[in-house]
Amino acid sequence: MPPPPPDPVARLPEEWADVLREWGQPAFRAKQVFQWIHGRGVLDPEAMTNLPKALRARLAEEGLAPPLTVAARHRSEDGTQKLLLALPDGRTIESVLIPQGSSGAEDPIGGDEPEPGTRPVTQCISTQVGCAMGCVFCASGMAGLKRHLTAGEILAQVTLGRDLVDEGDRLRNIVLMGMGEPLHNYDAVARALRLMFRADGLGFGTRRVTLSTSGLIPEIDKLGEDFEGKVNLAISLHVPDDARRSELMPINRRYPLADLMEALRRYPLPPRRRITIEYTLVKGYNDTLADADALARLLGKLRAKVNLIPMNPVPDNPLGPPPWSVVEAFHDRLWERGVSTFVRRRKGDDIAAACGQLALAGETKKIRVALPVTS
Ligand code: SAH
Ligand code: SF4
């Protein structure tokens, strides 16, 4: 059996059992420790009041501690919260709590808005500090990869988020759409997902967790196999042809569209589920009706729905969103072609909280790839 991971926050109950047996502890302690961390979100051993003092001290000595601290917490008028979280090495990541009916929530245009205090909340979490993929419209991509997050750092965003939702609201959905490319950090992400799904821990149903990727084909296959297709998949497609997609998303040179579409067709989707296709509309670049037609053709019979995201402006980046009328026309054209399409709404802009455009304060550099920008 492989040794338990060094990161105590990311240990499964059976791994805790091995560790605690070595420490001479009775078997039931493993469940208790796991329950504190994952069931109750208590990551500081001092606060684990039903454990003997000596065990609490040992847990602290062996490195069990909250891996994240809240460095800043911004709230927008609609209840969206953006959390700036500090890691043990001083780097920061962001995570966003999005109540249904607000900001980046993926509702159809004109969905009903539940009252504050009763809302299901979606949390957007990060998987890396920065990102190596270099997509030209993305703040994380402009920053480059600083480091991978550990499974514990990914998971602790969720235990923290669950505590920080407004009273009465409930954390229901997790989207891996914050900073970073989740499939570039596969092992840590897979472990964090496994932990989130544990019924004796956080207890998320698989349909409540969505992983967004720029399209790393071998890892899409692996995810499908490891989780039997139960992790919802969102694909950042953005451009329906290889030449322009490679300009916007360098990863397309390695994994071009035809291969990506093949991978999506073989993803073991459970019945009645669909793959989400993310399409960030960039003004004058990928926003014509011909693009909508090409997208519809590309998707063909794939069980998919499209999320249109008007690009959020990024500092030092000349690209931006098209006017609303263009977004609407694109949306309508896709429906005419039989493609279910939704627009991600953008309230909460006052704190630039919309998920998927989280900046690395002070760490971005100027855009590297010149694109034609029309007005
Ligand atoms: N790396 C993964 C997940 C994080 S990005 C991925 O690329 O899918 C989450 C989503 O936000 C992606 O669809 C990404 O393309 C989109 N996004 C990034 N920057 C954006 C911006 N400035 N405006 C709108 N969407 C953006
Ligand atoms: Fe990375 Fe996703 Fe941003 Fe591309 S869009 S640079 S893959 S975080």
Give the pLDDT of the chain (375 residues) as one tens digit per residue. Answer: 566 677 899 999 999 999 999 999 999 999 999 999 999 999 999 999 999 999 999 999 999 999 999 999 998 888 899 999 999 999 999 999 999 865 444 443 334 566 677 799 999 999 999 999 999 999 998 889 999 999 999 999 999 999 999 999 999 999 999 999 999 999 999 999 999 999 999 999 989 999 999 999 999 999 999 999 999 999 999 999 999 999 999 999 999 999 999 999 999 999 999 999 999 999 999 999 999 999 999 999 999 999 999 999 988 899 999 999 999 999 999 999 999 999 976 544 444 445 545 544 444 333 333 344 333
Residues spanned by CATH 1.10.150.530 within the chain?
Answer: 9-61
129 CB contacts (<8 Å, ≥6 apart)? 87, 91, 92, 93, 145, 146, 147, 148, 149, 179, 180, 360
**307 CB within 6 A, ligand 1:** no
Nearest atom in ligand 1 to the alpha carbon of residue 321 is 23
Mutate which of 94, 96, 133, 255 for ligand 2 pocket (most atoms within 8 A of beta carbon):
133
First to last CA, the chain: 60
SS (H, E, C) 62-75: CCCCCCCEEEEEEE
Domain 69-351 fold:
TIM Barrel (3.20.20)
SS (H, E, C) 134-179: CCCCCHHHHHCEEEECCHHHHHHHHHHHHHHCCCCCEEEEEEECCC
Look up the CATH number of domain 9-61: 1.10.150.530
* Partners of 54 in beta bridges: none
**43 CB within 6 A, ligand 1:** no
Residues spanned by CATH 3.20.20.70 within the chain?
Answer: 69-351
Q: What is the DSSP string of 121-138?
A: EEEE--SEEE-SS--TT-
| 94 assigned to active site | yes
**236 CB within 6 A, ligand 1:** yes
Shortest-distance ligand to the CA of residue 129: 2
**357 CB within 6 A, ligand 1:** yes
Measured in Å, residue 135 CA sits from the centre of ligand 2 at 5
Helix segments in the chain, DSSP class H: 13-22, 28-34, 53-61, 139-143, 151-164, 186-197, 217-226, 242-248, 251-254, 257-266, 289-299, 324-336
Mutate which of 131, 186, 189 for ligand 2 pocket (most atoms within 8 A of beta carbon):
131
Measured in Å, residue 214 CA sits from the centre of ligand 1 at 8
| 46 assigned to active site | no
Question: What confidence score (pLDDT) does residue 37 get?
Answer: 98
Question: What confidence score (pLDDT) does residue 196 get?
Answer: 97
Nearest atom in ligand 1 to the alpha carbon of residue 313 is 22
Measured in Å, residue 255 CA sits from the centre of ligand 2 at 15
pTM: 0.91
Nearest atom in ligand 2 to the alpha carbon of residue 212 is 2
Nearest atom in ligand 1 to the alpha carbon of residue 212 is 8
Selected catalytic residue, list 94, 153, 219, 278: 94
What does the chain come to in residues?
375
Residue 41 in 3-state DSSP? coil
Mutate which of 127, 138, 179 for ligand 2 pocket (most atoms within 8 A of beta carbon):
138
The rounded Cα 9 to chain-centroid distance in angstroms is 19
